[in-house]
Amino acid sequence: MKMIQSLKHFGIILFACFLTTDLSAGNPDRVGSAGASQLLINPWARSSGWGGANIASVRGLESLYGNVAGLAFTEKTELIFSRTSWLADIPINSFGFSQRLNETSVLALGITSISIADIVRTTELLPDGGLGTYSISATNINLAYSKAFSNSIFGGFVFKSIVEGTSDVSAGGIALDAGIQYITGNSDHIKFGIALKNVGPTMVFDGDGISFRGNAPDNEYTMTLEHRTDAFELPSLLNIGLAYDLQLLPDNHRLTTAGTFTSNSFKNDQYRVGLEYSYKDLVMIRGGYVYENEIADGSVDLTGPTAGFTVELPLSGETTFGIDYSMRPSEHFGLLNTIGVRIDL
């Protein structure tokens, strides 16, 4: 009977996932018109190994990117550091810290930094350089709060501070994420999640780098003039996800399937599916697939299969030390690798 109920619930979830394939809220005509695209990069190893399909089942600090509602499952204290080798070997460093405040609430801080250094300065008169170099950086600071409203409903929000640019031209802004997870089933094996991400005011670049010296209209003196730059919007999106823990395995084993539909405001919609096997929550192997329709004049990068694994090492008491790894495909830059370490106190 238990097996029949599990298969019945699993069938309902699959049917719901198929229904979402008729949804289309993406806007291909606006592709490339948003800024702060680093907000779309998942810096964490566990969830990126799923391809981001685990919106409904993500837990702990990695919920800062996927669905902040999962932060409420932090048991006590969690620390994560991860490093990603992004496109053209651009390094992305991320650090996160979360702390349970009471029986229902968790507070977390996350910092993600991207840096591109030693770019040669050029001008119309000096196209080969000779003016030194400059660097580009982007930093996101996330402050999150999550709460368990009941045994089945969890929710939270993330306040983001965004800074990007160079030493003389930069843009700053703020954004807000919000998410909710609902858990049901005899063994809490059915999960549903919704996350709204990157909602905030427009950003604009400013600084000395967009100014120049010019002559006044009467040509009697020079003055500093500044180019006006257009404001740009943030890459807001909506994730809707389902996850199901198969109850056909012994107690020490877990097999979880997950699917997520991503409605993007400034690009095509995406469909994500993932699968994770866990043994005693000490060894986990996962994989996923990200699908996005091709744009009119070429293929879509950063889609296709993903994979990863986790090894948790028990230390003294309830403390554990974990190593996470994931790889993601890039059509023009090969595999993108993320490795992370975590400590649960």
Range of the domain at 295: 2-198+235-344
DSSP per residue over 41-79, as a string? Answer: ----HHHHHTTS--TTT--GGGGGTS-GGGGGG--SEEE
Residues linked to residue 339 through DSSP beta bridges, in sequence order: 83, 325
Query: Over the stretch 261-284, which tens digit does the pLDDT of each residue have?
Result: 999 988 889 999 999 999 988 999
Measure the CA–CA gap between 246 and 185, rounded to whole angstroms: 11
Per-residue pLDDT averaged across 228-238, rounded? 91
Residues linked to residue 277 through DSSP beta bridges, in sequence order: 255, 285
207 within a domain of the structure (yes/no): no
Q: Which of 7-11, 221-225, 298-302 has the lowest mean pLDDT?
A: 7-11
Measure the CA–CA gap between 55 and 272, rounded to whole angstroms: 10
Q: What is the model's pLDDT at position 10?
A: 44
59 within a domain of the structure (yes/no): yes
Radius of gyration for the chain, computed over Cα atoms and rounded to the nearest angstrom: 23
Residue 267's Cα: distance from chain center in Å? 16
214 within a domain of the structure (yes/no): no
CATH number for the domain harbouring residue 93: 2.40.160.60
Q: Which residue has the higher pLDDT, 269 or 209?
A: 269
pLDDT at residue 26 above 70? no
Confidence of residue 5 (pLDDT cuts 50, 70, 90): low
DSSP per residue over 277-329, as a string? Answer: EEETTTEEEEEEEEEEPPBTTBPPSS-EEEEEEEEEEE-STT-EEEEEEEEE-
Whether residue 74 contacts residue 63, with contact meaning beta carbons closer than 8 Å, is answered with no
Measure the CA–CA gap between 197 and 178, rounded to whole angstroms: 7
Per-residue pLDDT averaged across 180-190, rounded? 92
229 within a domain of the structure (yes/no): no
Query: Over the stretch 109-158, which tens digit does the pLDDT of each residue have?
Result: 999 999 987 888 888 888 888 888 888 999 999 999 999 999 999 999 99
The neighbour count for residue 22, using CB atoms within 10 Å, is 6
Measure the CA–CA gap between 24 and 42, rounded to whole angstroms: 23
Q: Which residue has the higher pLDDT, 215 or 167?
A: 167
pLDDT at residue 22 above 50? no
204 within a domain of the structure (yes/no): no
7 within a domain of the structure (yes/no): yes
220 within a domain of the structure (yes/no): no
Structurally, the chain folds into a number of domains equal to 1
Q: What is the model's pLDDT at position 29?
A: 63
Q: What is the model's pLDDT at position 216?
A: 67
SS3 at position 210: helix
Q: Which residue has the higher pLDDT, 272 or 212?
A: 272
Q: What is the model's pLDDT at position 252?
A: 86
Per-residue pLDDT averaged across 216-234, rounded? 79
Measure the CA–CA gap between 248 and 226, rounded to whole angstroms: 66
Q: What is the model's pLDDT at position 3?
A: 45
DSSP 104: S
Measure the CA–CA gap between 186 and 6, rounded to whole angstroms: 10
Backbone angles phi, psi at 9, to 5 degrees: -65, -40
Query: Over the stretch 291-344, which tens digit does the pLDDT of each residue have?
Result: 987 665 555 678 899 999 999 999 988 899 999 999 998 888 888 999 999 999
The neighbour count for residue 258, using CB atoms within 10 Å, is 29
Q: What is the model's pLDDT at position 319?
A: 92
81 within a domain of the structure (yes/no): yes
Backbone angles phi, psi at 103, to 5 degrees: -65, -25
Counting residues of the chain whose pLDDT is more than 70, the rounded percentage is 88
Per-residue pLDDT averaged across 221-233, rounded? 81
